[in-house]
Amino acid sequence: MKSSIQILALTALQLMFIHSFAQDWQYYDSLSVQNQLNNEWDAAIENAEKALQLVEEKFGVNDTTYANACYVLGLIYRKIGDYKLAKEYYSKTKVIRENLLGKENHSYAEICNGLALLN
pLDDT given for residue 119 in this prediction:
81
Which is higher by pLDDT, 19 or 60?
60
CATH entry, 23-118, from 3.40.640.10, 1.10.490.10, 1.25.40.10, 3.40.50.920: 1.25.40.10
Instruction: Kindly give, in sequence order, each residue whose CB lies less than 8 Å from that of residue 1, ignoring residues fewer than 6 positions away.
Output: none
pLDDT band of 55, cuts 50, 70, 90: very high
Angle between helices 41-59 and 25-37 (to 10 degrees): 160
Long-range contacts of 79-83 (CB under 8 A, 24+ apart): 79/36, 79/41, 80/41, 83/118
Give per-residue pLDDT as tens, 70-111.
999 999 999 999 999 999 999 999 999 999 999 999 999 999
What's the CA dihedral at 26, 28, 30, 36 to 10 degrees? Answer: -150
Q: Which whole number is the average pLDDT over 46-59?
A: 96
| Secondary structure in 3-state letters for 32-46 | HHHHHHCCCHHHHHH
Which is higher by pLDDT, 22 or 4?
4
